[in-house]
Amino acid sequence: MLDIVAVPAFSDNYLWLVHDEASGETAVVDPGDATPVLAAAEKRGWSISQVWNTHWHPDHTGGNIVLKDATGARISGPAGENIPGRDVALSEGDEIRLGAHVGRVIEVPGHTLGHIALIFDEDRVAFVGDTLFAMGCGRLFEGSPDQMYGSLQRLTALPPETQLYCAHEYTLSNARFAAHAYAGEAAISERLAEVEQRRANGERTVPTSVARELATNPFVLAPNVEEFARLRRDKDSFRS
Ligand SMILES: [Zn+2]
């Protein structure tokens, strides 16, 4: 089993520490800042041997070099992007390993053009960066609506119980937008109420699951790319 720990950073990022007890190996996904990651690993007696990046944005890669200098970690990231300190360039179909756990790389362009996700099929775990968020999706900084819509469809084609580890706590604002876009949809208003409660208690709302996103994510529910593009534009200007 993979032991996955959320390390909060900046205002709303989650840097994910991933530990395999059997091999003693530890990876960190998208370390925008090295300091909290090193502290969280040390607290558990874990030493970081790998860094996995989903895309180039500094809040996902800013800690790469410090981590590499401090731990000697090997850095794997998307082949199509500029990744500080990268040792291994990842493309569609490539494998990553943590002990005996095998992950595969899929390309999910949209937020950035080279964005990748890491899928551990047997563990039913996926690290999705800034592509899919709980009840939302990443902004289209580089890619087209068509690309992002396709990327979301790929992620939500994974088995329904798959846990999706996204990189930000955006769920409350996403849920408010979803309730506005799909007024009267019971599953969405129920989830909004749950998210409000959890955030009021200072709890995390991620990871999410494929099943929950299929039921309540407006961008996944969009029946076609035109509707997806309209929703994405509306969300960009929505103030909850
Ligand atoms: Zn980003």
Residue 57 Cα to ligand 1 midpoint, Å, equals 5
DSSP per residue over 8-75, as a string?
EETTTEEEEEEEETTTTEEEEE--S-HHHHHHHHHHHT--EEEEE-SS--HHHHTTHHHHHHHH--EE
Element spanning 219, H or E: helix 218-221
What average pLDDT score do residues 114-124 get? 98
Residue 212 Cα to ligand 1 midpoint, Å, equals 23
Percent of the chain with pLDDT over 90: 99
3-class DSSP state for residue 109? coil
* Surface-to-core class of residue 89, CB atoms within 10 Å of its CB (0-12 exposed, 13-18 middle, 19+ buried): middle
> What integer pLDDT is reported at residue 231 of this predicted model?
98
User: Is the model's pLDDT at 240 over the cut of 80?
Assistant: no
Condensed to tens digits (0 to 9), the pLDDT of residues 57-96 reads 999 999 999 999 999 999 999 999 999 999 999 999 999 9
> What integer pLDDT is reported at residue 43 of this predicted model?
98
Average pLDDT of the chain is 97
Residue 198 Cα to ligand 1 midpoint, Å, equals 24
What average pLDDT score do residues 46-57 get? 98
User: Is the model's pLDDT at 119 over the cut of 70?
Assistant: yes
C-alpha distances in Å from residue 193, one per residue of 101, 172, 201, 217, 236 = 36, 9, 13, 15, 22
Residue 22 Cα to ligand 1 midpoint, Å, equals 32
Residues in the chain: 240
Residue 172 Cα to ligand 1 midpoint, Å, equals 18
Residue 141 Cα to ligand 1 midpoint, Å, equals 9
Condensed to tens digits (0 to 9), the pLDDT of residues 195-237 reads 999 999 999 999 999 999 999 999 999 999 999 999 999 999 9
Q: How many CB atoms lie within 10 A of CB 83?
A: 24
Residue 211 Cα to ligand 1 midpoint, Å, equals 24
> What integer pLDDT is reported at residue 239 of this predicted model?
83
Percent of the chain with pLDDT over 70: 100
What average pLDDT score do residues 94-112 get? 98
Active site residues: 55, 57, 59-60, 111, 130, 168
